[in-house]
Amino acid sequence: MPHLLLNLRHVPDDEADEVRALLEARGIEFYETPASWWGVSGGGLWLPDDGPVEHARELLDAYQRARAAQAREAPRPVFRPLRTLLYLAIAGLILYVSVRPFFAL
């Protein structure tokens, strides 16, 4: 029975490409199922019956740990709090313009 190595639902394209390249570089045979048209399945990377499941799983785990560490060390954008304040100010302005005529009565 084939083994699902990586479900591709919500996986960024660059991460899926890197996993494919990692498996190809190590000579691990795999195949990919595409995402369904109706959104039922997100697609996946599968290993055949006789594939090295444990070795591929160890490689994928090591890759994901390295990617998580890299994401933690990446600088966070400074403008995120400013964008939130801007959105709150716009929402407050819309609320003020919407409610003001009722208080003028």
Percent of the chain with pLDDT over 70: 100
Q: What are phi and psi of 37, to 5 degrees?
A: -70, -30
Average pLDDT over residues 22-39: 93
CA distance linking residue 73 with residue 67, whole number of Å? 10
Q: What are phi and psi of 23, to 5 degrees?
A: -65, -40
Secondary structure element (H or E) that encloses residue 69, with its range = helix 53-73
CA distance linking residue 68 with residue 30, whole number of Å? 24
- The CATH label, of 1.10.260, 1.20.1250, 1.10.3470, 3.30.70, for the domain at 3-74 is 3.30.70
Lowest mean pLDDT among 7-16, 19-28, 68-77: 68-77
Domain ranges of the chain: 3-74, 78-105
Q: What are phi and psi of 60, to 5 degrees?
A: -65, -40
